[in-house]
Chains A and B, each alone.
Chain A
Amino acid sequence: MDLRTVNKRRFKAEYAWGYLFIMPTIIGLVILNIYPLFDTLVLSLYKKQGLVGMKYVGLENYVKLFGDSLTWQSTLNTFLYVIYTVPIGIFLSLILATMLNNKIRFKSLFRGIYFLPIVVAPAAVTLVWKWIFNSEFGILNQFLNLLGIKGPVWISTPGVTLIAAAIIGIWSNIGYDLVMILAGLQSIPGTLYEAADIDGVNAWQRFFYITIPQISPVLFFVTVMRTMNSLKQFDTIYLLVDRSNPAFRSTQTLMVQFYIEAFQKYNQGYGAAIAAWMFVIIMLITVIQFIGEKKLVHYT
């Protein structure tokens, strides 16, 4: 056997193994993701007929979707939720991580405590906070009463409920961002700071000109994660308000609207249209974020 044949055989074997190893995943992705992507788009062109039928209606679902003020309200709510949770959440995590990144004791303990909300289910967490936010008997308003402030009816005042949901969202996710940012902070080479000290740089300048750029990849990552999670937030909003709640319209996000239409009212065509709309929004935001990455993130 000459070398060429041996090599050919080896390559063929390698190809075979390669395909074999990736086959389950690829087949899975095709069935679970590629096909569904097209199926959703096709479905969005159909409308429920009676109890079990589907009828082709072209773009009618989209016309209805964008003509319904509820859709725009949901979209607005979704954006508001992101705006409430992402900047404040990351800001707080950044501060906490910076604080932790000092020569203090009990670092692991603190880290463990802040990370705790991450491991427990959002469903359970939301129920606990629902109780805390209860306007007459919840501990938050009772506490505010002590300070002489009359707390709002958190869960059924339009506008306020979304803020309550945001508070829950921030509380639940600080730990994750904190851990990430802390890891980023800890990987900044000390030499950079030493060089800065020699140059007589003050603390603010250290922070803005060294620390932030050094951890900008982590900050970017955390921002993307947080934004994506907030856009797709379902559990908290769904459990906080139901249809008979006066604050429902001002709190419902696109994800909740999607679920209600597709799986409670069983309008799968209309639900698919909502999913498509969410897809467009998320893609747009992703593009914006990547443009931001190019401009603001400093990779060493």
Chain B
Amino acid sequence: MTKSSIAYKLRKNHVFIYFFLILGSFIMIFPFIWMILTSFKTISESMMVPPTFMPESFLFNNYKDVLQLLPFKNLYINTGLLILFRIILAVAFSSTAAFAFAKLNFPLKKVLFTIVLAQMMIPAQIFIIPQYRILAKMNMLNSLFALLFPGLVSAFGTFFLRQFYMGLPDELVEASNLDGCNVWQTFIMILFPLTKTAVIALAIFTAIFAYSDMMWPLIVNMEIEKMTLSAGLSTLNAGFSTNFPVLMAGATLAMLPMLALYLVFQKQFIEGIALTGTKA
């Protein structure tokens, strides 16, 4: 085969590839565009056959309505605090535990780590009712604490970070011991900073999970001002299940923060999530 015919074959294939990738991209993006366009239409406009593409005018009526129906300010704050604290808790507790499991020796280490592994294997539904009952007994339902409760510690985080700590050379630990550092200093000043990529990945993973989670917030925080964005949206669906322009406005507002972050930090998002997968 001549060089040019190979090149021709490749380019022909590439056209084919571009076509499919672009078609797929369109399918991925279209729902978002349609959501935004619908959020500016009136009910009768949205019910036209054949459908109109652009709204007659970009009224913010639906947005005004949905802001009245759901206390978005609270929803944003609750979601934001939830994400923030979940990340802090996950990183703090999982890092120390991961470091200890990877680099320290103590009796029963293997047994205790099995507990961590076991939690990852067991499906979460098993835990939900009792966790709820504990919160109910503590009278801590409808609070930020209730939202945080299942995420106070993270078995996945521990497991994930441990892989990284195991990849760090033991010599580092020995060297810092010789320098007179105690275990805490070794951890916090030498090893922890070396896990930066992994910590960021864990943070992103935790953020997306906390933001997406609908069932738990819906279960424990029933007052509308204490809900997160996902849970709040679901109540909108219950009451206004077919007022689509308003629902779309709500969905847009709910997606906005994450979308904005993603547009800026896209690379970190993707690589972080990929990292959590490959190390598992």
Contact = CB atoms under 8 A, between A and B. Distances in A.
- Give yes or no for direct A-B contact (beta carbon below 8 Å): yes
B55 to A, nearest CB: 14
Contacts of A131: 34-35, 38, 244, 247-248
B274 interface: yes
Q: Which of A29, A33, A39 counts the most B-chain CB atoms under 10 A from its CB?
A: A33
Contacts of B267: 108
Interface size range of chain B in the complex: 35 or more
A113 B233 contact: no
Interface stretch (A65-73, A82-90, A157-165, A175-183): A175-183
Interface of B: 10, 13-14, 17-18, 20-21, 24-25, 27-29, 31-32, 34-35, 38, 46-51, 93-94, 96-97, 99-101, 104-107, 109, 112, 115-116, 118-119, 121-134, 149-150, 152-155, 158, 182-184, 187, 208, 211-212, 214-215, 219, 229-231, 233-234, 237-238, 241, 244, 247-248, 250-252, 254-255, 258-259, 261-262, 266-267, 269-270, 273-274, 277-278, 280
B133 A278 contact: no
Contact of B119 (A29, A121, A282): A29
24 contacts: A13-B182, A22-B100, A24-B153, A27-B153, A28-B153, A32-B150, A33-B155, A102-B17, A114-B25, A116-B28, A116-B32, A121-B233, A121-B254, A123-B214, A128-B31, A128-B248, A136-B49, A146-B50, A176-B277, A222-B277, A239-B234, A259-B219, A278-B123, A279-B123
Contact of A279 (B125, B153, B184, B247): B125
Interface stretch (A55-63, A188-196, A206-214, A269-277): A269-277
A35 interface: yes
Secondary structure of the B side of the interface? helix
A105 to B, nearest CB: 9
Given A25-B158, A39-B129, A176-B277, 11 more contacts: A17-B183, A22-B97, A100-B21, A118-B273, A122-B230, A127-B248, A128-B251, A129-B31, A146-B50, A180-B278, A183-B278
B129 A132 contact: no
B226 to A, nearest CB: 16
A137 B49 contact: yes
Nearest to B53: A139
Nearest to A98: B17
Contacts of A99: 17, 20-21
A292 to B, nearest CB: 16
A263 B277 CA distance: 32
A34 B260 CA distance: 38
B31 A37 contact: no
Contact of B47 (A19, A132, A137): A137
Given A21-B96, A33-B119, A180-B277, A127 B34 contact: no
B130 to A, nearest CB: 4
Secondary structure of the A side of the interface? helix
B127 A232 contact: no
A132 B31 contact: yes
B49 A40 contact: no
Nearest to B232: A123
Contacts of B155: 25, 29, 33
Contact of A29 (B115, B254, B266): B115
A234 B29 contact: no
Given A127-B247, A278-B123, A35 B130 contact: yes
A264 to B, nearest CB: 10
Interface of A: 11, 13-15, 17-19, 21-22, 24-37, 39-40, 43, 95-96, 99-100, 102-104, 108, 110-125, 127-132, 134, 136-137, 139, 142, 145-146, 171, 174-176, 179-180, 183, 218, 221-222, 225, 228, 231-232, 234-235, 238-239, 242, 255, 258-259, 262-263, 268, 271-272, 275-276, 278-279, 282, 286
Nearest to A240: B237
Contacts of B99: 21
A298 B192 CA distance: 33
Nearest to B277: A180
B123 A282 contact: yes
B269 A119 contact: yes
Contacts of B231: 123
Nearest to B229: A121
A28 B132 CA distance: 15
Contacts of B215: 234-235, 238, 259
